[in-house]
C-alpha cells in the first residue's frame, strides 16, 4: 500500500521541504499533486521542484489533479477555451510520464465478467501511476450548448485525450458529476464503455451521487470502470447529504469487492483535503 496525502502547488506557493519531511515521518509514501498553474512553463517548473522534494523523502506522486480546469472544460462552447483545456491535459499527461511508476493490477483483484468493463481492460494491461484526475464541479456547469451537443463534445475531447493517455500507459480518472451531464449510472456506464480503452476510468464520488440516487447502487452498476473512490467524513457534510450516504466502511468494502480500483481518496476533517490510499505492491 502507498498512503498518499494532497499537496497544493502554485508558482507563488511551493511547499516547504519540512512539509515533505513531516509526511514521510508519519508513514506517507505517496502524494496527490494539485496544481494551480495556468502557464505551462511555470507548471513544469513547479512540478520539477515538487518531484525533487518528493523523491528526496521517498514520496511518489500518485495523482496529478488540475485545479485550473475540470471535466466540463472539455465541452466548453468556446472553441479556443476547449482547445486550451485539451492542451493543458496533454501537458499533465507529459508531466505524469516523467514521474510514472509501474503499478500492475493487484494479483488478488476480483475476476470480472466480460460485460463488467471494456474488453481491452484486461489484467495484462499495465496500470501506471500517477492518475490524471479530472474533478467535476458540485454545481451545474455553465452549459451554453444543448445537452446532446455538450455530451458529444465531451466524448470527442476525451476520445482524443484517451489515445495520448493509453500510449503513455496512464489513466485519466473522471469524477462523476453532481449536475450538468452524466447524471445516471447507466448513462455514465455506457459513456465509458464506448471508448473501449483502459485509459479512462471513473473517480467515484458518492457525495455527488447522494443528490441523485443510491451510491451503492451506482457503485454496483459502474463496477470495474471505477478506478478511484473519494470519501468524505460525515461531519464535514450537510445533514441532508449525511442522511443519504452509506457508512464509509460499507463504501470501502463495496469498492474493494466490486471494482478493480486501487485508489481511495479520503477528504480529511483536519485540512478538508484528500488522502489517497493506493493498494498495490509498493510500500
Summary mean pLDDT of the chain? 81
Confidence of residue 267 (pLDDT cuts 50, 70, 90): low
Measuring CA to CA, which residue among 109, 150, 125, 130 is closest to residue 261? 109
Query: CA-to-CA distance for 164 and 280, rounded, in angstroms?
Result: 24
Using the predicted structure, report yes or no on whether residue 282 has a pLDDT greater than 80: no
DSSP assignment letter at 228: E
Instruction: Return the half-sphere exposure (C-beta side, CA atoms, 13 A cut-off) of residue 75.
Output: 24
Q: What is the pLDDT of residue 111?
A: 32
pLDDT, position 268: 59
How large is the average pLDDT for residues 8-12?
Answer: 81
Strands 128-129 and 101-102 turn out to be antiparallel
Please report which confidence band the pLDDT of residue 278 belongs to, taking 50, 70 and 90 as the band edges.
Answer: very low
Domain ranges of the chain: 2-278
**pLDDT of residue 6 exceeding 70:** yes
The mean per-residue pLDDT over the stretch 225-238 comes to 82
Q: Which is more confident, 34 or 234?
A: 34
Q: Which residue has the cell 463534445?
A: 153
**Distance between CA atoms of residues 32 and 156, nearest Å:** 27
Q: What average pLDDT does this structure show over 206-228?
A: 92
Q: What is the pTM of this model?
A: 0.84
Is 2-278 assigned to CATH 3.40.50.720?
A: no
Write down the pLDDT at residue 141: 61
Does residue 273 carry a pLDDT above 80? no
**Residues, the chain, total?**
283
- The grid cell for 154 is 465531451
Contacts of 116 (CB under 8 A, 6+ apart): 223, 224
The mean per-residue pLDDT over the stretch 185-209 comes to 95
Euclidean distance between the first and final Cα of the chain, in Å?
A: 5
Q: How confident is the model at residue 248 (pLDDT cuts 50, 70, 90)?
A: confident
pLDDT of residue 159: 98
Using alpha carbons, select from 231, 233, 242 the residue that is nearest to residue 205: 231
pLDDT digits (tens, 9 = 90+) for 100-150: 876 554 444 333 333 333 333 444 444 678 899 999 987 666 656 889 999
CB-CB contact of 207 with 244 (8 Å) = no
What whole-number percentage of the chain has pLDDT above 70? 80
Amino acid at each position: 500500500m502507498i498512503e498518499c496525502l494532497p499537496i497544493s502547488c502554485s508558482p507563488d506557493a511551493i511547499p516547504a521541504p519540512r512539509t515533505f519531511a513531516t509526511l514521510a515521518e508519519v508513514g506517507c509514501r505517496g502524494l496527490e499533486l494539485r496544481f494551480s498553474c495556468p502557464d505551462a512553463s511555470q507548471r513544469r517548473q513547479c512540478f520539477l521542484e515538487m518531484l525533487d522534494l518528493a523523491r528526496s523523502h521517498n514520496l511518489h506522486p500518485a495523482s496529478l489533479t488540475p485545479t485550473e480546469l475540470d471535466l466540463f472544460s472539455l465541452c466548453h462552447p468556446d472553441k479556443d477555451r476547449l482547445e486550451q483545456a485539451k492542451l493543458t491535459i496533454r501537458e499533465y499527461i507529459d508531466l505524469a510520464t516523467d514521474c510514472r511508476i509501474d503499478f500492475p493490477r493487484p494479483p488478488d483483484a476480483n475476476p470480472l465478467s466480460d460485460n463488467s468493463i471494456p474488453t481491452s481492460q484486461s489484467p495484462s494491461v499495465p496500470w501506471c501511476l500517477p492518475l490524471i484526475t479530472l474533478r467535476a464541479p458540485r454545481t451545474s456547469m455553465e452549459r451554453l450548448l444543448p445537452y446532446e451537443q455538450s455530451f458529444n463534445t465531451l466524448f470527442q475531447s476525451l476520445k482524443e485525450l484517451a489515445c495520448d493517455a493509453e500510449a503513455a500507459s496512464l489513466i485519466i480518472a473522471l469524477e462523476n458529476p453532481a449536475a450538468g451531464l452524466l447524471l445516471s449510472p447507466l448513462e455514465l456506464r455506457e459513456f465509458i464503455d464506448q471508448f473501449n480503452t483502459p485509459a479512462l476510468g471513473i473517480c467515484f464520488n458518492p457525495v455527488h451521487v447522494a443528490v441523485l440516487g443510491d451510491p451503492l447502487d451506482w457503485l454496483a452498476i459502474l463496477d470495474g470502470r471505477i478506478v478511484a473512490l473519494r470519501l468524505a467524513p460525515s461531519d464535514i457534510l450537510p445533514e441532508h447529504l449525511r442522511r443519504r450516504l452509506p457508512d464509509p466502511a460499507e463504501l470501502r468494502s463495496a469498492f474493494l469487492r466490486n471494482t478493480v480500483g486501487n485508489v481511495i481518496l479520503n477528504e480529511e476533517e483536519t485540512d478538508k483535503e484528500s488522502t489517497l490510499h493506493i493498494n498495490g505492491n509498493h510500500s
